[in-house]
Amino acid sequence: MTELQIAAESGLCAELNGRILAEKKSTELLATGQLDKFVILYESLAAIRSHDLAFNAPIIVSDAAHSFSEKDPSAKIKLSTGELLSVKQAIEILMILSDKTAAFLLINTVFGNDHNWRCETSHFFEQLKIKDDFFTVSDQNDDDQLIQDSHMTARSLLKILNKLFNDFPEMLELAKQPELVFQSDRQAIKIKNPNVFLNDADLVTISIANSAKEDDLVAFFKMNQKQYLLELLGLESSQLRDRDTRYTQTKELFSQVRDQLWQK
């Protein structure tokens, strides 16, 4: 197996069918910030597919969700008590903006409470034969719980991403949207998609804040008519958070991997 030479704590490059081409410490358990969003997205979409939930089912923002939205530094859209939106909109917000408030809303809408969500997630992990990964959840009170930290290996994340984007390929198309158009019964707003697009390489990247000092990067790209997935976990945040240089830095990261695997 080729060792991935990249400035990240862990990572891998694989075909979208799961075959790994190169990796670096891919079985090492790392804190992975908000990458649990992919688990919540899959579970929500699976509930819709099984007709346990409607795509356009209404979500009414509770006092707890409003409070969470106000306190959540990741929230690009602030929601008020009683505001009405749909499951579809919450999925779009979570996929495009990685907004923790959207995760909060989906967990409570799809599963009713945090305990049910954790049970379903354990079952989901068993199906994928994921054993070592875990989420740490806040225990403030029954109405104000959300993942505080998640730990995952790059290989386990690959299983989750393969499952999500093979079962629901429309999510990859959603990630490519240039902007999010959100309209509830109280507000209408357009937000530019913060994901990075390098159209010349047919590359879609999703950068997610991990901590004050690190970011995680998930990328999808085509090479020789095949679809590939790249995970870079534990990147120094300075590489991705400067908006003026983000395009160049992301392109450089991708070029390094491409050169290692295809231009030897």
- Residue 204 sits in a domain whose CATH number is 3.40.710.10
| pLDDT (0 to 100) of residue 30 | 86
Q: Which tokens hold the place of 35? A: 């990458």
Residues in Cβ contact with 162 at an 8 Å cutoff, skipping those fewer than 6 apart: 16, 17, 18, 229
Residues in Cβ contact with 110 at an 8 Å cutoff, skipping those fewer than 6 apart: 43, 44, 47, 53, 87, 117
Q: Which tokens hold the place of 187? A: 């507000």
| Count of structural domains, the chain | 1
Rounded to whole angstroms, the Cα distance separating 38 from 76 reads 19
Give residue 170's domain range.
Answer: 2-262
Contact 62, 40 (CB under 8 A): no
3-class DSSP assignment, residue 196: strand
Q: Which tokens hold the place of 74? A: 């990741």
| pLDDT (0 to 100) of residue 31 | 80
Q: Which residues of 202-213 are buried (b: 16+ CB within 10 A; e: fewer)?
A: ebbbbbbbbeee
Q: Specify whether the backbone of 82 is left (phi greater than 0), alpha (psi in -120 to 50) or beta.
A: left
Walking along the chain (264 residues) 10 residues at a time, the average pLDDT comes out as 86 91 93 82 96 95 92 87 97 91 93 88 91 58 52 92 94 88 96 69 71 78 85 78 66 82 74
Q: Which tokens hold the place of 103? A: 């995760």
**Pairing status of strand 2-3 against strand 8-15:** unpaired
SS3 content of the chain, % helix, strand, coil (to 5): 40, 30, 35
Specify burial of residue 51 (Cβ count, 10 A radius: 0-12, 13-18, 19+). Answer: exposed
| pLDDT (0 to 100) of residue 10 | 93
Rounded to whole angstroms, the Cα distance separating 91 from 106 reads 8
Residues in Cβ contact with 207 at an 8 Å cutoff, skipping those fewer than 6 apart: 194, 195, 196, 215, 216, 217, 240, 246, 250
| pLDDT (0 to 100) of residue 143 | 44
Rg (CA), the chain: 18
| pLDDT (0 to 100) of residue 78 | 94
**Tokens 């158009």 label which residue?**
181
